[in-house]
Structure 1
Amino acid sequence: MKVCTDACVLGAYADVAGARILDIGTGTGLLALMTAQRNPNSLIDAVEIDADAFGQAAENIAASPFAKQVITIHERIQDFMASGRKYDRILTNPPFYTNHLRSPDSTVNRALHTDELPFSELIEAVVRLLEPEGQWWVLLPPYETGKLAKLASEAELSPFRQLALRHHAKKPVFRMVTGFSFQADNRSDEVLDIYEPDGRTYSTAFRNLLRDFYLIF
């Protein structure tokens, strides 16, 4: 799967201040690498179920300046025990399609459809692996964010910060970046427009957020 703009926003926006960080479904390794760039003192476990994606992530990470910070792990997150340790931060860009038409490519289906990682099992893994004072950051469309938040609340995980992502001010929100924790009190909500209303010029806020990662800025 190719790198997408909304995943880059997650990698640039999420709080990655922790010492131990977990990337669930690392794909190309994008979030793990962005985290390593932002937090040079972190140790990151990047878990991926798909063999081809795991291989690509391992190759990308090995070729980066951050290879000593990131470990790639080929395993289902449902089975991943992390040697009993827990994480200060967990990041994930999970599959979210349920009843949509399937692709003939099984790799695409695994990345986009929830069959192999239903929200309930994702939440179970997060509850098991997250430190009591840790944060879980998720990227999803608005409707799926609501579904996830409802299930997460049953596990005592609540949103404390949320970024709504739009193409520009005249377009609807198409993705939400949400921070969950076990100790959420005050909640902060923001909106980010990728472009100015002309639909072509990158907004100042988007440029500022992605400046350290986009070579064109």
Structure 2
Amino acid sequence: MSFTFKQFHISDNHTAMKVGTDGVLLGAWARGGLRILDIGTGTGLIALMMAQRFPSAVIDAIEIDKDAFEDARLNFLNSTFKDRITIVNSSLQNFQPYNPDREKGVYDAIVCNPPYFINSFKNPLQQRTTARHTDSLSHQELIFHSKRLLKENGTLSIIIPYDNKNILEAEATFNNLSINKIVNIKTKYSKPIKRCLMEFGKGNTTRCEIEEQVLNDAEEKRTAWYHHLTQDFYIK
């Protein structure tokens, strides 16, 4: 399949995890900076969105799955942002970024739509298991290595199922990362919270901003919040 956004095109012929709402939400919401890392880039959607939103940014995208890596590589090459995005076929655990100034941290911002199923039934398709389950990247590893790679006052932005929120909060606290922002998301006003956008910071913060948002109204149209967040990307 393929998806055309306002400033770039996504093909996902090989990757197990296709373009979805979670990636669009995170790419439109996450804080950026001059140097950005996208962990588990998949099709490259979030990296491309960050490149569009932050014209001065240089972006590294890592992807452990070779087929997804190839999809993302081609999507980057076919975009107007190709000179600002570098893709690496690597796990987060083994990733060592270029750091010419030998700073303690490298990135102003890290974004990740992480694997999220914990101790659940595994999909027989190994690609999909790698993309969706935490076996290849646990929440603990995500927080630990993000802290390793972030500059002082850098941020990690993620989107996860609401049921996993407490686990990420606990890992962040253990690793001395602050919780800066949380957006609890419902698909409709009448539905329970399904997803959670979270921003963690390497610097200290005195308070956490928490809000609740809804994606679609009773007529299945995007709410004002969702429309405003994504209007620079969706064609319709």
Q: Is TM (by shorter chain) over 0.5?
A: yes
Q: 1:76 aligns with which of 85, 91, 104?
A: 91
Matches within 5 A, 1:100-115: 100-115=120-135
State percent identity of aligned pairs. 36
Q: State the 1:190 CA deviation.
A: 1.6
Q: 2:45 aligns with which of 30, 45, 52?
A: 30
Q: What's the C-alpha RMSD, in Å, of the aligned pairs?
A: 1.1
Q: State the 1:120 CA deviation.
A: 1.4
Secondary structure at the residue paired with 1:98? coil
Matches within 5 A, 1:117-156: 117-156=137-176
Alignment deviations for residues 85-117 of structure 1 (CA, whole Å, 9 cap, x no partner): 510000001001122211111000000001111
Q: State the 1:150 CA deviation.
A: 0.2
Q: Paired residue for 2:36?
A: 21
1:185 and 2:200 equivalent?
Answer: no
1:65 and 2:80 equivalent?
Answer: yes
Report the Cα distance in structure 2 between the residues aligned to 1:161 and 1:47, rounded to whole angstroms: 25
Q: 1:4 aligns with which of 20, 36, 48?
A: 20
Q: Which amino acid aligns with 2:211?
A: E
Q: TM-score, normalized by length of structure 2?
A: 0.88
Report the Cα distance in structure 2 between the residues aligned to 1:34 and 1:3, rounded to whole angstroms: 12
Q: 1:197 aligns with which of 218, 221, 230?
A: 218
Q: TM-score, normalized by length of structure 1?
A: 0.95
Unaligned runs of 5+ in 2: 1-16, 100-104
Report the Cα distance in structure 2 between the residues aligned to 1:59 and 1:181, rounded to whole angstroms: 32
Report the Cα distance in structure 2 between the residues aligned to 1:120 and 1:82, rounded to whole angstroms: 20
Number of residues paired by the alignment? 214
Report the Cα distance in structure 2 between the residues aligned to 1:29 and 1:119, rounded to whole angstroms: 21
Q: State the 1:122 CA deviation.
A: 1.3
Report the Cα distance in structure 1 between the residues aligned to 2:143 and 2:224, rounded to whole angstroms: 35
Q: Paired residue for 2:13?
A: none
1:54 and 2:69 equivalent?
Answer: yes
Alignment deviations for residues 103-159 of structure 1 (CA, whole Å, 9 cap, x no partner): 111000000001111111111211110011101101101121210110111110121
Q: 1:41 aligns with which of 56, 60, 85?
A: 56
Residues 22 and 113, structure 2, Cα contact 8 Å, conserved in 1: no
